[in-house]
Structures are given as C-alpha cells and as structure tokens.
Amino acid sequence: MSESSVTRRLAAILAADVVGYSRMMGADETGTMAALRAIWRDRFDPAVAEHAGRVVKMMGDGALVEFASVVDAVACAVDFQNAMAERNADPSGETPIEFRIGINLGDIIIEDDDIFGDGVNIAARLERQAPNGGLLASDSVYNQVAGKVGITFIDAGEIDLKNIDKPLRVWRWDGVTAATPAAEPGAGKTIPVAQDIRFCIAPDGTQIAYATAGNGPPLVRSPHWMSHLEFDWESPIWRHLLQELSRDHMLVRFDQRANGLSDWDTEEVSFDAFLADLETVVDAVGLERFPLFGVSQGCAISAAYAVRHPERVSRLVLYGGYTRGSLQRGNPEEAEQAEAMLTLIKHGWGQDNPAFRQLFTSSFVPGGTQEQWDWFNELQKISVSPENAVRIREANLNVDVSDLLGQVTAPTLVLHCRDDGIVPFDEGRRLAAMIPNARFVPLEGANHLILEDEPAWPRFLNEVRNFLAEDE
C-alpha cells in the first residue's frame, strides 16, 4: 500500500448475501443469475442510492456497501428486505429469493475504491449469522439507531466471531413477518414456516410421519417422545426453536413411532427401532450429508447414527442429553424414582384431570409460564397414549451408548442446563467427555426444554448458529 492512496475513517458497513446461492445455481444457473441481476438493478441499487450509500463491491451472490450514516445503512437494509418480502409474497411471481444482511459501525481502511479492516470483517461475519429476510447489527449500530428506524430489534446477546478477539453483543431484526413488542394486538404475528408432511415405512412396516420446513442446507432433528409435527409449530414450548432451526436450513424432523402422527399401533418400541426410523427418514428425504441435532433422548440416537454412518453426519449438536438411561446409571435412588414415574404414567397419563400431567410438566419446564404449562399438558395428551408413553419411557430408561461414543468422528457441540431436573448436569458432562474433542457449553437454567424467554436462550441460539455456520 502506498501512503498516498490509503486513508482511514469511521463508517457504517452493510454486507448482504443470498441465502442458498450455491443450491439455486446448481438447480438453475441461468435463471438464478437473471433473477439476481434484476434484483440488484431494480431493488438493491435504488435502496442504496436513496440512502446515500456507496456500493464498494458486488460478488454475484452478495454486496458490500459503505454509508456515512449508520441510520441510513439500517434504513436501506430495512427498505430492501421489505421490498424482497413483497416480491417473494407474490404467488404469481418468480422463485422466492432471500437475503441476509449484517451491519457494523467501525473503523475502516480505504485503498483506492476498496475498503478493509475490522469494521468490514465484522459486518461480513454478522451477515453469515443474520436471519433470512432480516438483519444482524453490532452493538455500535444499535446504540446509534434505536428508536430512529421504525423497527424493533431483539437483543441476541453476545456471540463469538471468527478471527475477532472479543465476543460481540448483537441485535437482530427478523424481517417484516416478525412480531415486535411495539405491535398492536393481533398485528405482526409471526407467520409459521410452511412445512411439507409426508410418510415413509420403516423396515418393520411401521409408518413414520416426517416433515421438512425452511430453505437452505439440510439439518436433521433426531426423534424424541412427546412430539407432534403439527401441534409443535403452535406451541410456545417448541415453535421458537423450530423457527430458528428452519431459518437458515431445510429442517427435517419426524414423530417417533408410537407417538405424534406416526403409527401408534406398532409392535416394537426400542432404541434399535428408533435408530432404524432415523435411517428410514434420512433415506426417504434423499440426504447424503448433513448436521444432526438431538434433544434429550435424541442425543443418544444421534450419536449412534453418527457412528453407524460417519460419512453422512457432518456435525452433531446435542442438547440436554445422556449416555445412559436412569436405570443404567447405577444410582438406586434415581432408579426407584424412575420406576415410580412409570407407575404414575400408566395410571394417570390419560385422565381428563391434568393434575398428574402438571407434575410431569413441572419437571420438564419448572420455569415455564402458565401458558407454556397448559400447552405442554395438552401436548402430552395428544402426542402419545398412556400405554405408548410407558413403552417409550421404558426404552429410554434402559439406553446405554457409552461404548459407542469414543467412535464418534463428527465435530460435536454439547449443551446442558446446570439445574436440569430431568437429565442431571453430570450426564451432559459425561456425554461431552466421552465424545472425542466435543465442545461443552454449560447453560444457566433449570428447564429441560429451553424456552424463548429464559436468559439461556440467546446463548444457546448463538452457540448453535456459530457451530453450524462452520459447516457451510
């Protein structure tokens, strides 16, 4: 660099890119390029010009823009995303295309017409983790624009960015379909992601219901009991997790046999059968390589699948899991409690009086609201019969994958709440310790199922997003 051509200044940097660009190009290169040229010309460039921005570079699937005003940078992003939402909502229009945008306010280096430095790098890193159709802004941006651009930001907590020394606090706007605290009653309600429900047949003839939702690279969620493909989208227990997992991925999930929309009348309910069902669903969707996400009992199933099919599993995310069921841990008191719970399930699960189900709910989500408790009580009733609840729980109590964990080769992230009342924290640590090079993230909280309004949720989300982003 020559001194005469290099200057520094504070600037707002906007980084934007297309979600699923490689997939779209592989499917229709000519059509994708033509659609993007039209979007850059008719929607992006006018928004940049209106807000006095300077397009520094175009990369085919993305753009880097400099603004003198951070308010202009955010207003430009919002106008563009609103315009894209309008375009994508037209049922007679072209194939929907989504963008994600990162914005940072920081020091930049200018050489001729190009820009460099951490101010630029942070914006680019934020763009990679931004929500589809929305934006992710650094704390320096939020402090300048809060209350000035007509949108409500969500505090997404602190995140670690690649090649950036310190964690960065960030703020998220999910786009025009997102609910905001300032909205009028009934307005701005989050629109559930459309899902496609189908069925496949396991090797023993059991019919398994599975669903796909969202766009992007695949992410498979392992099965667990008390799930219902339709009901979960409406539930304050699960919908926030489903929305976030399907924001950047095609989320694949299914109802475990004897549960939800899958066959309730099935002869075998066992760990081996659960694993076979996962194999069946993955083959039915036609997936070759993908990250696998497990919750609770789904963690053991995920690990076993990763050992059996190492060539297909790119990454493992395991939350609230265990290596051994309660009857395999060598703890007489815990085993006695587990047997007592089986008796209660057998005699109390199907009753109209929700007193027993509330006891169960309070163990899973002790920090839940009354609304969340009511939904979980109802989920128990509609997702599984008393007889099948006993069969599934017995299978889970006797799981032990300890001997398999040392064979896991996929990069693994393990997360567990310190005061989890269903699966002890020590079981989560044991799970991480037995998987080679697994990263363990302790979370503050007592809920077995992580809720949207608890402090651990932003960290959980950021850890999972960062980890999965490394797979792209």
Distances in whole angstroms, Cα of residue 262 to Cα of each of 208, 209, 222, 386, 396: 5, 5, 14, 16, 18
What pLDDT sits at residue 263? 95
Do 219 and 326 have their domain in common?
yes
- Domain ends where: 173, 206, 232? 173
Residue 17 belongs to domain with CATH number: 3.30.70.1230
Do 283 and 238 have their domain in common? Answer: yes
Instruction: Say how many C-beta atoms besides its own lie within 10 A of residue 215's C-beta.
Output: 20
Domain that holds residue 50: 3-173
The residue among 108, 138, 173 that closes a domain is: 173
d(CA 20, CA 201): 30
154 and 276 share one domain:
no
Instruction: Label residues 237-249 b or e (16+ Cβ within 10 Å = b).
Output: bbbbbbbbbbbbb
Q: Does one domain contain both 107 and 202?
A: no
Most confident of 104-108, 374-378, 411-415: 411-415
Question: Does any domain span residue 182?
Answer: no
Identify the pLDDT of residue 193.
Answer: 57
Q: Are residues 7 and 110 in the same domain?
A: yes
> Do 160 and 268 have their domain in common?
no
CB 326 within 8 A of CB 397: yes
Phi, psi torsion values for 67, nearest 5 degrees? -130, 145
Residues 319 and 218 in one domain: yes
In a domain, 297, yes or no: yes
Lowest mean pLDDT among 302-311, 330-339, 404-413: 330-339
Residue 91, domain member (yes or no): yes
| Residue 123 forms part of a structural domain | yes
pLDDT tens digits for range 285-308: 999 999 999 999 999 999 999 999
Total structural domains in the chain? 2
181 occurs within a structural domain? no
Average pLDDT of span 171-188: 51
Nearest to 167, CA basis, from 120, 109, 125, 107: 125
Computed over every residue of the chain, the mean pLDDT equals 87
CATH number at residue 210: 3.40.50.1820
Write out pLDDT tens, residues 139-157: 999 988 877 777 888 888 8
Does one domain contain both 218 and 140?
A: no
In a shared domain, residues 169 and 292: no
pTM of the entire predicted model: 0.63
Nearest to 122 by CA among 139, 98, 145: 139
How confident is the model over 30-58, as pLDDT tens digits? 989 999 999 999 999 999 999 999 999 98
Strand ranges for 373-432 from DSSP E: 412-417
- Is 396 part of a structural domain of the chain? yes
The answer to whether the beta carbons of residues 281 and 203 sit under 8 Å apart is no
Residues 206 and 165 reside in one and the same domain: no
Contacts of 148 (CB under 8 A, 6+ apart): 71
Q: CA 277 to CA 204: how far, in whole Å?
A: 10
Q: Is 304 helix (H, G, I), strand (E, B) or coil?
A: helix
Residues 121 and 235 both lie in one domain: no
